[in-house]
Amino acid sequence: MLRRFALTAAVSLAALAAVSGAAFADGPQPVAQVPTRQAPDRLTVTVTNSGVRTAEGTYQLQCGPDGATGTHRSPQEACDRLAALAADGKQPFAPVPKGLMCTMQYGGPATAHITGTWHGQPVDATFRRTNGCEISRWNNLVPVLPHAAP
């Protein structure tokens, strides 16, 4: 009985060794590819009628693996806000859904237009403060967009 067990164990080990060796018979296995560096997000933000003179104008914002740059007043804070929205699975440039009931309040004449590329996707979004939903959408993007005076 002990002899049968030893023979079975020896045959099993030989079969296992043959299978393990076969995995490398075709040569070295491919090495996992290192992910390519993602292109930085590049946005142009134009703000008008915000009621804050220092916030008016057109600004460049670049968020990338090497940090935040551009002519935006607070590039790092703006990029951090966009990163936080992305981490939460939010689409910061999506319009207010059609048919959504919004409070009828007016947040002032401020408008903003954002164009460029974010997460490899084109961006062409307009922001206004014409009702509660649009005000909320604007405020959600502060500091990418400035705090607007009512």
Task: Determine the pLDDT at residue 131.
Answer: 97
What is the DSSP secondary-structure string of 56-104?
-EEEEEEEETTEEESSSSSHHHHHHHHHHHHHTT--TTPPPPTT-----
Instruction: Write down the pLDDT at residue 3.
Output: 44
Residue 9 in 3-state DSSP?
A: helix
Measured distance CA(139)–CA(81) in Å, rounded = 11
Q: Which residues contact 130 (CB under 8 A, 6 or more apart)?
A: 106, 107
Q: Residue 28's pLDDT is what?
A: 52
pLDDT, tens digit, 9 for 90 and up, residues 38-51: 789 999 999 999 98
pTM, to two decimals: 0.73
> Which pLDDT value is given to residue 51?
87
The one-character DSSP state at 108 is -
